[in-house]
Amino acid sequence: MSTDTATGAETTTAAPDLQTLNAGQELPTMHKFPDEAQLFLYSAASHNPHRIHYDRDYARFEGHDDIIVHGPLQGAWLTQFVTDWAGPDARLLGVTWQNRASGLPGEELVFSGTVTSVDRETGVVELEIAEHTSDGRLLMPATATVRLPTA
């Protein structure tokens, strides 16, 4: 289940079927709209006192345009993007991401992905995924490996 925060509509999509899934297939996009409150809550919940996530003057002093979205929060969204798509019976085996740039509060962040390989015997599926701003700035190129149920 995933919530499209752009429309507020809750869409329940069936988990991918290993037998019909193919390389090249695209995942439905996920959208996030971080605001100051979310950055504050994430700093608190992840025990992260780094000033660039809550002190606008300090963030600008360090050369950022504004306070910035945490790298690990963007990473957690990448894992959510995959687990929402794969469904509760799948197992996330790995994820990698590169910090190219950070999102800012008030920006729309878009998560997209493509299946790069499918092993129907083991259920292991490789994905190339990414986080961009809605105007196309690449924040995080990433990969993920997930095992779908084989039966």
Partner 1 sequence: MSESLIPAETLERVGEVLSGPVTTVIDRREAQRYAYAVGDENPIYFDEVAAHEAGYRTLVAPPTYVTHAVVQPRTAADLRTDGLYREGTRIRLRVDRVMFGGEEWDFLEPVCVGDEITATVRLAAVDQKEGRKGPFVRQVRETTFVNQFGDEVARSRMIGIAR
> Could you list the residues that contact partner 1 (CB under 8 A)?
1, 32, 38, 41-42, 44-52, 55, 58, 62, 71-73, 75-77, 79-80, 83-84, 88-89, 91-99, 140
Tell me how far, at minimum, the Cβ of 130 lies from partner 1, in Å: 13
Residue 22 tokens, joined: 């193919």
Exposure string for 112-121, b = 16+ CB within 10 A, e = fewer: ebebbebeee
Tell me how far, at minimum, the Cβ of 79 lies from partner 1, in Å: 5
Tell me how far, at minimum, the Cβ of 40 lies from partner 1, in Å: 9
Are 70 and 131 contacting, i.e. CB atoms less than 8 angstroms apart?
no
The CA-CA-CA angle for residues 116, 28, 134, to 5°, reads 105
Q: Which residue has the tokens 């997209």?
A: 112
Residue whose C-alpha is closest to residue 27's, from 11, 48, 7, 46: 11
Residue 24 or 37 with smaller CB distance to partner 1: 37
CA distance 122 to 124: 5
Tell me how far, at minimum, the Cβ of 121 lies from partner 1, in Å: 20
Residue 50 or 114 with smaller CB distance to partner 1: 50
Residue 84 or 107 with smaller CB distance to partner 1: 84
Residue 5 or 22 with smaller CB distance to partner 1: 5
